[in-house]
Amino acid sequence: MPSQPSRLSASSDPPAGGWTSADEQAGVARRLVVVTVVGSGYVGTTTAALLTALGIKTYAVDIDEAKVDKLKDGKAPFYEVGLDNLVAYGIDNNYLVPTSSYEESIPHASIVISAVGTPENADGSPDLRYVYSALESIAQNATGPLIYVQKSTVPVGTGRAIIAKYAELSDKPFSYVSAPEFLREGTAVVDSIEPDRIVVGGDDADSKHIITTIFRDISSRRAEIADIADQPIQNLPEPIAFNMSIESAELTKVTANAFLALKISFANSIAKLADSTNADVAEVMDAVGSDKRIGRAFLNAGRGYGGGCFPKDVKGLISSAKANNVAMDIMTAASNLNDSMPSYIVDRLKDELGELETKKIAILGLAFKAGTSDVRKSPGIKIANLLQQAGSKVSAYDPQAHNEALADLDEGIALLDSAQLAIKNADAIVVATEWPEFKDIDYSQTTAKLLFDAMNLLDSSMIVRNGLEYRGVGRRLKL
Ligand code: UGA
């Protein structure tokens, strides 16, 4: 068995007299460390860009040449506010080295951060093939001790399996650190520079200390980084760092996402009851969420959660529980409830319109949430497709996600150049993503008689003033 490296390398030993402060340690780490981030998705690109903003030389390796080329041009491979500025800074200062070559990027690195995708298998378990193929390439090209940091969301138990696999592939020392990521798409930069917490799990105290120091450094230098990214900071307290076992860190990540998904599905269950009883779910959740033990966040009812994380992580947790013979009915219920929301909205539209066939329906919003062009598991796309399948004539608009949506939208759905154009000749409008600009549309310029606010975004009285009927998810009409 290879032994755990106790330090980054001999040259990262404390200077004579020892390190005097956390700042000094961070400064030493910055100068000595070379990091390779594997995977240039949301997590990988944001992490690599933030490291380069600290002045750390960082390779960003991805097998997708198109992503590498975009990064070399100083741009993020996807839309994420503030990230282009950070990528451009890394490229202009020669800190960021995008490449598709493991041979180029691994031999120099003392820290490798894995942020590859873990898509969903048909049975709901995460597909770890990219994690293991990246591990093989890392092992083949490692020239010395590595701290391997897992940022991808993986099921509990994966870290131990990776440690064993690496020992088969390489005789070089390997220290595994699980450092799950909690950033949200659309706010990736600000979430990362002012995180609520840093979670670091591993067997080796020195490795965990080095990784914690680097992530703490990002948040203590948030003002400089926010300046480069041209993003605001809220001056939140420094993040709490949680030091734990690999297994606890793995489980912390999926538990956090599962709990947030549970809150949303809970709010949507109450919204369905509100719809049947003339209560207003937003009023209920404002009052309920004011209880500090509960909190108001993630209790917004609507068309349900989508994206690359919640649907997958909830199903992943259910599958982990099953593999360990543990019942996780609470999450199965949350997942089923979420899956029911797009058809619940389509059924309610049918109730309102009498029939869906031949009706012209405008969908505003195809991204799974505002601030991103990501359409993975997007409820807006599901609603558009269900309506198209029911015979409606669907026109759609999203400020960012048209290219991404094309592959998932059923044939015949028209993508319009503006929201105003999409609603112009419609019979009904559905708001399916909470883009703030949807509040500023001129709703008097439409033939539609009904607006279905599947995000509970709009002021109902404004819609009524414009001559439309307003329906939300679990909302009582306010005049
Ligand atoms: C989520 C978590 O919030 C992040 O902490 C985590 O790091 C990330 O997954 C991940 O695992 O990578 P994200 O998927 O980017 O982040 O987006 P969220 O803002 O959490 O929204 C997820 C979905 O829930 C969206 O479709 C959103 O519209 C929906 N949502 C959110 C609601 O329907 N109601 C709410 O009250 C909040």
Predicted confidence at residue 1, as pLDDT, reads 38
What is the distance in A from the centroid of ligand 1 to the CA of 9? 38
- Name the residue of 78, 79, 184 to mutate for ligand 1: max ligand atoms within 8 A of Cβ: 184
Q: Ligand 1: does its nearest atom lie under 6 Å from the Cβ of 309?
A: yes
Mutation to probe ligand 1, out of 191, 259, 309 (largest number of atoms < 8 A from CB) = 309
- Whole-number pLDDT of residue 11: 37
**Please, what is the Cα angle at 209 between 206 and 211, to 5 degrees?**
110
Q: What's residue 22's pLDDT?
A: 63
User: Is the distance from the beta carbon of residue 78 to the nearest atom of ligand 1 less than 6 Å?
Assistant: no
The whole-model pTM stands at 0.91
For the CA of 433, the nearest atom of ligand 1: 28
| Known active-site residue 154 | no
Give 447-467 pLDDT, tens digit per residue: 999 999 999 999 999 999 999
Smallest CA separation from ligand 1 atom 34, residue: 300
Q: Beta strands 174-178 and 197-202: pairing type?
A: antiparallel
Render pLDDT for 383-422 as a digit per residue (tens, 0 to 9).
999 999 999 999 999 999 999 999 999 999 999 999 999 9
Residue 476, pLDDT score: 87
Question: What burial class does residue 466 get, using C-beta atoms within 10 Å of its C-beta: 0-12 exposed, 13-18 middle, 19+ buried?
Answer: middle
- Nearest protein CA to atom 20 of ligand 1, as residue: 184
Indicate which residue of 50, 147, 189, 309 is catalytic: 309
Of the candidates 8, 59, 57, the one whose C-alpha atom is nearest the C-alpha of residue 38 is: 59
Ligand 1: nearest atom to the Cα of 307 = 14
Q: In the prediction, which pLDDT does 448 show?
A: 98
Nearest CA to 158 among 192, 140, 134? Answer: 134
The whole-number pLDDT of residue 90 equals 98
Q: How far is the CA of 283 from the centre of ligand 1 (A)?
A: 22
- Ligand 1: residue of 151, 197, 296, 305 to mutate (most ligand atoms within 8 A of CB) is 305
- The stretches in the chain having pLDDT less than 70 are 1-31, 478-479
